[in-house]
Chain A
Amino acid sequence: MNSERTGGGITRRLLALGATAAMIVSACGSATTSPSGSTAASISPTSAASEAPSAASTAPSAAASDAGYTGPEATISYSIWGDPAEIKSQQAVVDAFHAANPKITVKPTVSDWDTYWEKLKGSIAGGAAPDVFAMDGPLFPDFQSRDVLLDLKPYIDKEGYDLGQLADAAVADFTTADGQYGLPRDLNVVTLYYNKKLFDEAKIPYPDGTWDWAKLVEVGKQLTKDTNGDGKTDQWGLYTETSDMENYWSSLVWQNGGDIMAPDGKTTVLGTDEAAGGIQFLQDLIWKDKIVPDPALFAETGDAFEQGKAAMEINGTWLVPTHEAAGIDLGIAPLPKGPAGLATSINPTGAVVFKGSKNPEAAWAFVKYLSSPAAQTKLMELKASLPANKEVLAGPYASSFVGAKVLADSLAYAHLKPSFKGFEEFASILQEELNTNVFLAPNKTAKEALASVVPQLNSLLAGQ
């Protein structure tokens, strides 16, 4: 085909070039079918000088954390889930580690929750998993039982590392009969937040350690109002979520004397009256006492408490930074006690090492560092979780912001979020039933709903 050089030849070529460039740009930017949308940010460490002196000098007990790494130069990859903005704070920890251990370079990456697990499983299947990665307590058994995590016990025994320096329940989550497969990095508990301004306006005393279920309902009713007379509630006494046991029906089950799993972890005991009673309390808060909004109402628009539409919120400690950023005059109190006493949920996040890591010693050095006071104080500053290190928890953390002491003290009555093989599928089946028939619409009582789903859950557990 002959190309015709006409007067518009040059223009046509430029247009073609521009169109091609536009196509390439749009192809790069187009949304593919959803799951693969991670933000993987890999940043190489900045020069050592910036963080080193302050990190070393503020570390109260430097002994175990700076025990020298004697291996060759190594580069290890560190993968976590979180907000993309967290990469900055993780980078600070990584830089401090590099300063203390110049032979090890750490490359951190952050993804959102869903993408994180897809990428992790895919990379393990492909044999190229990150050396160190974050592990959620409940999902730990699924990974450990499939032999993809490195047993850290040999390193712990050789160095005489004291596991007692970390919160006991958190350590137990990563311990098995034959070894220690990770160290806890931080913890999350569930607590009661309250809006001081709304309490002051209604002249009601703030929540404290004496509150129980009846008091919660009583004050909740006083603070649930239709402020503009249109027949619809505009201010709710309490806001909480219902789609995950952690926030907050598992605490209610424990406060009522029930439990979720049997002691041997092989069957579920949600069918008992005590367990059903805890979940029934939450259903009543929504549909009988009407102090908690219908979960559908704020599902799309977000946290009612942050919007100033709820006087109290019962939710996890990961919300502290966002509540503060929303400008709420925030107060923190212990959860109201139930008929069987105080209880809350504790969920540790741990750092684990991939079994096939090419640099296990370097990985262990980093995992150890993450739980050391130096790193824990840095992570603590984010306020998004509690430190796992007992010394930091009792000392700097408890006085780091108003309410921190309440959170630190709640560990004394906290129950571990259930952790077992098949957790994700179990939770999916259970929540499907609870969401559809107990929380979003009161089609069944808690006891009826649980009775209909417990057999299926038990056969799922039996098949693992």
Chain B
Amino acid sequence: MTSLRRPTTRQGSPLGHEGRWALLFLAPTLIGLAVLSAGPILATLAISLTKWDLLTAPQFVGLDNFAALMSDDRFLKAMRNTIFYTVVSVPLGMAIALGLAMALNQTIRGIAFIRTAYFLPVVTSTIAIALVWQWIYSSDAGLLNQAIGLFGIPSQRWLSDPVLVMPSIVAMSIWQGLGINVIIFLAGLQAIPTELLDAASVDGAGRWARTRHITLPLLTPSIFFTGILSLIGSFQVFDQIYVLARPKPTEATITIVYFIYENGFKFFKMGYATAASWILFIIVAALTAVYFRSQDRWVHYQ
């Protein structure tokens, strides 16, 4: 087989004229990624092997931080809470978003306004949302307690009861995050060719059959995409915990990122905190790899 000559341009460079311009435009982002992201990430790997309080010089301790984390009760509770949060909020959030998207996939008058209304929580500051939900969840005269009081159920301490607090935070987060998934699903729904659906209904398929056999399979790329975003995001939950678990997260509400923040910035244990963040990274990376591998089994690209 003859070897392929690498194409060259008039200037003789293998990259080509357009290639060099591409590199030039990509340079700011690439340099930013290298200096501001990759560099610090590698630095944290080094820091995780030390004992560092931010104010004095770091001391090398090898893998002690990782060993200590495995037996740290609070870290294990943080893992448990984060996994609970993920397992509940991701599937539930996506299911509700999918249902909403199907409902919003119509061309009635005012649909644009309704879609905007559903998207508003996404662009509203978490602090503002948390303040409103604190009032809703208030044990004293909160909206939720008043509502269940109409059915004779006694007032609950939504944000103080160790059993109820995490589900309460999950509910608020699901509500807040719906908008993004709805938009993505809507786009996916609108990309489904209507001829397929018409052909199916001509063949006698009812609405549920059409959804099951045409809409959902063709939506799997969107489901895959929102799934991965939600998964990665929910493992890093911090904002909602920071504002709702006042004054401080307890064993019932602490999550991994809050644990990292607490140890690094309050307890003068930056090395310990970075070790925890690397464990989080490894977990999320592993799950993402598994998730991507599973693509072949259930995602149908058109």
| Chain A residues in the interface with B (C-beta under 8 A) | 26, 30-31, 33-35, 117-118, 121-122, 124-125, 142-143, 146-148, 243, 294-301, 422, 424-425, 428, 431-432, 435-436, 440
Question: Chain B: which residue is nearest A129 at the CB level?
Answer: B55
Q: Does B266 contact A (CB under 8 A)?
A: yes
Question: Chain A: which residue is nearest B251 at the CB level?
Answer: A432
Tell me, rounded to whole Å, the shortest Cβ–Cβ distance linking B176 to chain A: 12
- Contact residue among B127, B134, B238, B250 (Cβ-Cβ distance under 8 Å from A300): B134
Q: Does B56 contact A (CB under 8 A)?
A: yes
Assess the A300–B54 pair: CB atoms within 8 A.
no
| CA distance in complex: A376, B212 (Å) | 75
Chain A residues within an 8 Å CB radius of B185? none
Chain B residues within an 8 Å CB radius of A34? 126-127, 238-239, 242-243
- Contact residue among B55, B134, B250, B261 (Cβ-Cβ distance under 8 Å from A35): B261
Assess the B159–A300 pair: CB atoms within 8 A.
yes
Assess the A440–B268 pair: CB atoms within 8 A.
no
Assess the B250–A432 pair: CB atoms within 8 A.
yes
Given A34-B239, A436-B251, CB of A300 within 8 Å of CB of B265: no
Most B-side CB within 10 Å, residue of A117, A243, A300, A428 = A300
Assess the A299–B54 pair: CB atoms within 8 A.
no
Question: Chain A: which residue is nearest B246 at the CB level?
Answer: A299
Question: Chain A: which residue is nearest B266 at the CB level?
Answer: A424
Chain B residues within an 8 Å CB radius of A428? 248, 262, 266-267
| CA distance in complex: A301, B131 (Å) | 10
| CA distance in complex: A266, B53 (Å) | 20
20 contacts across the A-B interface (CB closer than 8 A): A31-B239, A33-B238, A34-B239, A117-B265, A117-B266, A124-B54, A143-B55, A146-B56, A148-B55, A296-B157, A296-B161, A297-B140, A300-B137, A300-B138, A300-B140, A300-B142, A301-B140, A422-B267, A428-B267, A432-B248
Chain A residues within an 8 Å CB radius of B161? 296
Tell me, rounded to whole Å, the shortest Cβ–Cβ distance linking A81 to chain B: 14
Assess the A296–B239 pair: CB atoms within 8 A.
no
Extra pairs beyond A34-B127, A35-B242, A121-B54 (14, CB < 8 Å): A34-B242, A124-B54, A296-B157, A297-B139, A299-B139, A299-B160, A300-B135, A300-B137, A300-B138, A424-B266, A424-B268, A425-B266, A425-B267, A428-B266
Assess the A440–B160 pair: CB atoms within 8 A.
yes
| CA distance in complex: A99, B63 (Å) | 56
Query: Residues of B within 8 Å of A, CB-based: how many?
Result: 35
- Contact residue among A31, A118, A147, A300 (Cβ-Cβ distance under 8 Å from B126): A31
Assess the A243–B248 pair: CB atoms within 8 A.
yes
| CA distance in complex: A241, B126 (Å) | 26
Chain B residues within an 8 Å CB radius of A26? 123
Q: Does B247 contact A (CB under 8 A)?
A: yes
Assess the A125–B265 pair: CB atoms within 8 A.
no
Chain B residues within an 8 Å CB radius of A35? 242, 261, 265
| CA distance in complex: A121, B265 (Å) | 8
Chain A residues within an 8 Å CB radius of B142? 300
Chain B residues within an 8 Å CB radius of A122? 54
Q: Does B71 contact A (CB under 8 A)?
A: no
Instruction: Kindly identify, within residues 243 to 293 of chain B, every residue whose CB is under 8 Å from any CB belonging to chain A.
Output: 243, 246-248, 250-251, 261-262, 265-268
| CA distance in complex: A172, B262 (Å) | 29
Tell me, rounded to whole Å, the shortest Cβ–Cβ distance linking A148 to chain B: 5
Residue interface mask B133-175, A partner, CB < 8 A = 1 = 0110111101000000000000001011110000000000000
Chain A residues within an 8 Å CB radius of B266? 117, 424-425, 428
Question: Chain B: which residue is nearest A35 at the CB level?
Answer: B261
Instruction: Kindly identify, within residues 215 to 251 of chain B, every residue whose CB is under 8 Å from any CB belonging to chain A.
Output: 238-239, 242-243, 246-248, 250-251
| CA distance in complex: A85, B129 (Å) | 24
| CA distance in complex: A142, B251 (Å) | 25
Most B-side CB within 10 Å, residue of A117, A122, A301 = A301
Given A125-B55, A146-B55, CB of A436 within 8 Å of CB of B250: yes
Assess the B55–A124 pair: CB atoms within 8 A.
yes
Chain A residues within an 8 Å CB radius of B262? 428
Q: Does B2 contact A (CB under 8 A)?
A: no
Assess the A243–B139 pair: CB atoms within 8 A.
no
Given A296-B160, A436-B251, CB of A301 within 8 Å of CB of B138: yes
Most B-side CB within 10 Å, residue of A30, A124, A297 = A297
Assess the A142–B159 pair: CB atoms within 8 A.
no
Assess the B267–A121 pair: CB atoms within 8 A.
no
Q: Does B194 contact A (CB under 8 A)?
A: no
In order of increasing CB-CB distance, the 10 nearest A-B pairs are A296-B160, A146-B55, A31-B125, A425-B267, A300-B134, A125-B54, A296-B157, A300-B138, A121-B54, A146-B56
| CA distance in complex: A295, B159 (Å) | 11
Chain B residues within an 8 Å CB radius of A300? 134-135, 137-140, 142, 159, 246
Assess the A435–B238 pair: CB atoms within 8 A.
no
